[in-house]
Amino acid sequence: MSCAKSAAIYQRIEMTASFPVLAFGMPGTHEWLIILAIVLVVFGATRIPALGSAIGKGISNFRKGMREANEEADVAKKDSKALTDESTETTSSEKDESAGAS
């Protein structure tokens, strides 16, 4: 095999390896229309809005849970810092008392 042919093969391999979207590439307009038609047949036109609202509620509940978890983490950090500050003050006051008693 010549160097030009092997270089061309390696270039093709590099190009395909750097952009692995799907096995056959991104679906085009016709493919999306077919997928939409299959979804309509499987779920029916009346269940799709309910399915969409259920997904929306799930996403909003997830975001709410993440926000609450972040708030709880912030409170825990503040409490931890306050406890650390108190223990530092207690330790320094104990040292002062022991130094004054000596």
Residue 37 belongs to a domain: yes
Is 49 inside any structural domain?
no
- The C-alpha angle 93, 98, 100, rounded to 5 degrees, equals 95
Q: Which domain holds residue 6?
A: 1-43
Statement to judge: residues 2 and 22 lie in one domain: yes
Highest mean pLDDT among 7-11, 20-24, 54-58: 54-58
The rounded distance, in Å, linking the Cα atoms of 68 and 36 is: 36
CA 57 to chain centre: 18
What torsion do the CA atoms of 81, 83, 85, 88 make, to the nearest 10 degrees?
A: -140
Domain count, the chain: 2
Question: Which 8-state DSSP code applies to residue 26?
Answer: S
Query: 28-61, pLDDT tens digit by residue?
Result: 899 999 999 998 898 888 888 888 899 999 999 9
Tell me, yes or no, whether 39 and 59 share the same domain: no
- Pick from 44-48, 69-73, 84-88 the range whose average pLDDT is largest: 69-73
48 domain residue, yes or no: no
Residues 32 and 76 in one domain: no
Q: What's the residue count for the chain?
A: 102
